[in-house]
Amino acid sequence: MKAVVIGGAGFIGSHLVDRLLSEDHAVDVIDDLSSGSLANLADARTSGGAFKFHHLDAASGDVDSLIGMRRPDVIHVLTPLPRSDESAAAHARAFQVALTALDAARRHGVGKVVVAVPATSIHGHPMSRVLPLKDVEVAQLVPRGVRGVVARAIVDLLVSYRDVHAVEFTALAMATVYGERQRAGAGVVSAFVHAATSSSSPVIDGDGRQTRDLLYVDDAVDALARAGERGGGLLVNVGTGVQTSIADLWERVAAHVPDAADIDVVHRAPRSDDLARFAISPVRARIHLAWSPWTDLDDGLARLTAGA
């Protein structure tokens, strides 16, 4: 199988590239390195002719030309929706990347487009009694903030291209992914690991009782790889179904790093639109992707902090 991974030099994307290459797929990576790094692709770049890197703007017309030349079986779109950059341009670019990939797939007969979106942005503010949140249809999504609106628009775009142009897709609503290669501060786990290993104070919004569904990167990548051949036309939650409070997460990270338990925690005012509690059910993923999470949080943290 031939795959194109847009955003393949990033945190999740580079792990997906390694997985696909290990399964003897040919992989082309498109990345402008604005947030990704060639260092993330160190192993991939030694794999020989099965891997090619293209330093391109994923929203440019060059992507269409490349996909027309390479004729992949599947396109994975992993260009992240902006977290720290909340400008109109950053949100517009995320949508443009998805649109460019879908239109190239339409023009060149690509069999499948797989897109990952953040689950915390498209499921509103669920009540505790309904957690872990079951999968919902696209029409039932409740965007949270501008990031959620853009994520919902991308999913709507996938549905439209499937209905009108017969471009198959699978959309994965990802829980909070953590693991090796994630930049410090790019997620709550990476921020806490950086604090613990640098003996600096972790920052917690509010009292830390808010919960998240924490998904190890290898598990996330397994779902992405399976989605290349399964789950056609579906939006699928990819998470563990387990809630972990932010305060408990810090204690568990600190337990893996010598002397980190003695570091003082800094609390700041809660964010106005923060989720109180969150977790998503993996039931639909089990049925349609033959996927289940297998990495326990403490096992994942142990891998991430090994040698600290």
Residue 171 lies in a domain: yes
Inside any domain, residue 156 = yes
pLDDT at position 75 is 98
Q: Is residue 168 assigned to a domain?
A: yes
Return d(Cα 268, Cα 185) in angstroms, integer: 16
The whole-angstrom separation of Cα 114 and Cα 229 is 10
Q: What is the pLDDT of residue 168?
A: 98
Q: What is the DSSP letter of 270?
A: P
Task: Please list, in sequence order, all residues whose beta carbon lies within 8 angstroms of the beta carbon of residue 22, skipping any fewer than 6 positions away.
Answer: none
Does residue 259 fall inside a structural domain? no
**Residues of the chain predicted below pLDDT 70:** 84-85, 308
Whether residue 167 lies inside any domain: the answer is: yes
- What is the C-alpha to C-alpha distance for residues 131 and 115, in angstroms, rounded to an integer? 24
Residue written as token pair 């499937």: 162
CB 227 within 8 A of CB 174: no
Give the pLDDT score at 28: 98
Q: CA–CA separation, 194 vs 109, rounded Å?
A: 44
Distance CA 72, CA 70 (A): 6
What is the per-residue pLDDT for 49? 83
**Residue 191 and residue 202 in contact, taking contact as beta carbons nearer than 8 Å:** yes
Residue 145 belongs to some domain of the structure: yes
Domain of 131: which CATH number?
3.40.50.720
Quote the number of domains for the chain: 1
pLDDT of res. 85: 65
* Distance separating alpha carbons of residues 101 and 167, to the nearest angstrom: 11
Give how far Cα 18 sits from Cα of 181, 222, 238, Å. Answer: 13, 11, 20
Instruction: Give the model's pLDDT for residue 308.
Output: 66
Residue 235: closest CA among 164, 146, 153, 136: 136
Token digits for 185?
Answer: 């501060």
Q: What is the pLDDT of residue 84?
A: 65
The predicted pLDDT at position 21 comes to 97
Cα separation values, 153 from 79, 92, 146, Å: 15, 11, 10
Q: Write down the residue that tokens 């060059």 correspond to.
A: 62
pTM: 0.96
In a domain, 36, yes or no: yes
List the domain range (segments joined by +) for residue 20: 2-175+214-240+282-293
In-domain check, residue 253: no
